[in-house]
Each structure stands twice: as structure tokens, then as C-alpha cells.
């Protein structure tokens, strides 16, 4: 089993955990966060949902299941976009940072589940 965790970027910024590789997995840079705040964090924006899917989803809880299916399809069709994350996870712990407010309705949950599946295949 992999050691992939997800954390809200704003929490990480207050108390950075530097064990393993840390990736910001949002398409857009989070508001109010400077590049210096995330020094040493790699921005994996290509692993995030496409702009059209991100806009359609709009973090609406009632769209989450369909969003998850569409996002998984994007990842299945373009696994190379998540390859840096997979490579890092094969080497050790990985933290995925996201900016969404809802810890139960966000793309990082879907991405983590997809990465876990890829690592167990």
C-alpha cells in the first residue's frame, strides 16, 4: 500500500510536513499563497482536472460522483500527467496539496484513489 496523504494547502502552509515528496495538485495557484510559502513543493498542475471539467464541477457536492468519473477518465486517458506523482510514490511518502474548502468534495480525493490503484496494479 502506498503512503499518499492529502492536505489542504492552507494548513500545510502553517505547519509544513517535509517527509517525502510534496505536490500542489491544483490547476490554479491558490489565493493568498506565495511561492515562498511553498518552497520545495512541486506544482503538478497537469495532474489536476482539465479547465473545462474544473469549471463544470465548481465544487458542487451533487456533481461529485459524476465529476469523479470524468476526472478518472481524464487520468486513464493521460496517465503521463500523473507520472511524476507515481514515480515519487514508488520511492516514498507523498503529500498532495489542494486548495478546495471541502475536505470531502475535492479532486485530490479522486486523484489519491486513482494513484493508489495504479500503484497496486
- Tell whether the model's pLDDT for residue 104 goes beyond 90: yes
Confidence of residue 53 (pLDDT cuts 50, 70, 90): very high
CA separation for the pair 121, 105 (Å, rounded): 26
The pLDDT-based confidence of 7 (bands split at 50, 70, 90) is very high
Compute the average pLDDT of residues 93-112. 96
Answer whether 32's CB lies under 8 Å from 105's CB: no
Q: Which domain holds residue 107?
A: 4-120
Using CB atoms within 10 A of its CB, is residue 58 exposed (0-12), middle (13-18) or buried (19+)?
A: exposed
The per-residue pLDDT for 17 is 67
8 A C-beta contact, residue 48 and residue 40: no
Say how many domains are in the chain.
1
- pLDDT of 21: 94
Amino acid at each position: 500500500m502506498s503512503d499518499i496523504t492529502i492536505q489542504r494547502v492552507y494548513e500545510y502552509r502553517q505547519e509544513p510536513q517535509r517527509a517525502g515528496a510534496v505536490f500542489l495538485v491544483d490547476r490554479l495557484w491558490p489565493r493568498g499563497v506565495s511561492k515562498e510559502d511553498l518552497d520545495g513543493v512541486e506544482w503538478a498542475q497537469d495532474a489536476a482536472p482539465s479547465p473545462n471539467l474544473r469549471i463544470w464541477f465548481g465544487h458542487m457536492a451533487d456533481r461529485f460522483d459524476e465529476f469523479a468519473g470524468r476526472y478518472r477518465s481524464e487520468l486513464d486517458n493521460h496517465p503521463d500527467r500523473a507520472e511524476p506523482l507515481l514515480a515519487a510514490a514508488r520511492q516514498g511518502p507523498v503529500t498532495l496539496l489542494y486548495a478546495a474548502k471541502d475536505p470531502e468534495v475535492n479532486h485530490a480525493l479522486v486523484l489519491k484513489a486513482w494513484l493508489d490503484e495504479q500503484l497496486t496494479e
